[in-house]
Chain A
């Protein structure tokens, strides 16, 4: 296992927990808990039940934390996420896609209707991490299965005007909520 010490200048860092096999870094679960308390965790990536992260087994996690927290946890061994090439990042993003319908779901009606569609918004935060991630993600909609989700609270017009032409999901589950002009603005 090769550990690379954190440098204080990096923008974002990636920590692969639980996995001695991963060449990037290793943190035991206890350290992860400590990190979570100290860190401003931007993203926790969990492999879904249908896939595994590269080189990792199911249930491994990747945590991306800010430079700020890295300074506070400088004894932790991490490396800059910048060492990952675009293909690797894309693969990680793809594996980060959530399961829309949990395997342990017991409500048959919920299963029938297709699960939690709001999880399709998984990539919304990622595109705000940095310009590189934004352009990388938005350049790969089919690969990442990107789509825009509209609920009754979504500012539809604004979102359509400022988003790339991605597939649309309309998820309006409020029995009482009326379709008003407000929904359209």
Chain B
């Protein structure tokens, strides 16, 4: 590998995943200009992310188009960035604490990359959101940056950072947005919601809400058969109460986008049994807030861990079905391994909808046995 790297005037692509000691060996040879290099992708293992590694200051790649660095300390003011103005892909993932840079510094760099099509920024170590907010409030006026070709933007970190960044970014052609928030108390994200609302190329046709052991996520797809998302939001959070609250708040801001969702999937991917909530009324309210935003959903898939929550939320407090929820729903699907008793919990809702002339078919996802 070292022999190949030494042919630096011929190297056009480098993609390396290896332990830090090996990368250090290779880096020694990367201390000059690589005139042909278009793609550079270096990934340290997460175990090694506490080791400080930077590219040599004398490393240059004037033809660089794709730069992807994972899990190491990379300075945003590195000469490789200031000399690579033709970047199409710029992804810094798992940025270590020692390499933290402010939104202002990031914007300065982005202003010299008008050709960017893909931008990914994620921090490895969370900065407390309160600290980030106070720091960001003290920021001097930031440069406004237009990225006319940006189609894919991914961010991982604190919401305050993203909220400081987004108002200064114009990304009219954005098609895919991926956000991962660290565990944090809920803070409003008006700029994120506004950016999504005005992104004409980001459309929702189907959506999936997933409740994981340590996070909750919303994934929305541009059309029913799409296999890659238009919007993917994951929030690290162990508390299931907070998971639903956070989702409800975010979704509420996306009301307009969600109105076009016809297929909704509620999935439960926790390893432990769902814990009991103390306040069932509060739980129902939160779930109704979520369901109430999907007023055009025709198909709803519910995984087994959520059936009790959902069936309870579809009941009104006096035992009747909650009439206004999911008005267009035609089919309610459940997974094959659900308990029959759980599935029966939907019976009042199904009956209520049938009585009102808006029948809903209850379908086993695999066998599709209708229990109307």
Report A's interface with B, CB cutoff 8 A. Answer: 104-106, 108, 111-114, 117, 147, 150, 152, 156-157, 160, 165-179, 183-184
Contacts and interface: CB of A to CB of B under 8 A. Distances in A.
Given A108-B228, A114-B39, A167 B15 contact: no
Interface of B: 1-5, 7, 10-19, 22, 25-26, 36, 39, 41, 45, 66, 68, 89, 91, 118, 120, 154, 176, 178, 227-229
Contacts of B18: 172, 174-175, 177-179
A147 B45 CA distance: 28
Given A106-B228, A160-B4, A170 B10 contact: no
B291 to A, nearest CB: 27
A26 to B, nearest CB: 33
A174 B17 contact: yes
Contact of A172 (B15, B68, B229): B15
B1 A168 contact: no
Contact of A112 (B2, B7, B118, B229): B118
Nearest to B11: A168
Contact of A160 (B7, B13, B45): B7
Contact of B89 (A108, A112, A175): A112
A117 B1 contact: no
Contacts of A112: 68, 89, 91, 118, 120
A106 B232 CA distance: 13
A183 B12 contact: no
A39 B91 CA distance: 47
A170 B178 contact: no
Contacts of A165: 10
A173 B23 CA distance: 12
Contacts of B14: 169-170
A87 B91 CA distance: 40
B4 A168 contact: yes
Contacts of B118: 112
Given A114-B13, A170-B15, A183-B1, 4 more contacts: A170-B13, A170-B16, A175-B17, A184-B3
B1 A157 contact: no
B11 A156 contact: no
B234 to A, nearest CB: 12
Contacts of B5: 170
B1 A172 contact: yes
Contacts of B45: 175
Nearest to B40: A170
Given A112-B118, A167-B10, A179 B26 contact: yes
Contacts of A104: 227
A167 B36 contact: yes
B15 A171 contact: yes
A172 B26 CA distance: 11
A83 B178 CA distance: 53
A116 to B, nearest CB: 11
A166 B10 CA distance: 7
Given A112-B120, A113-B68, A183-B1, A175 B7 contact: no
Contacts of B25: 179
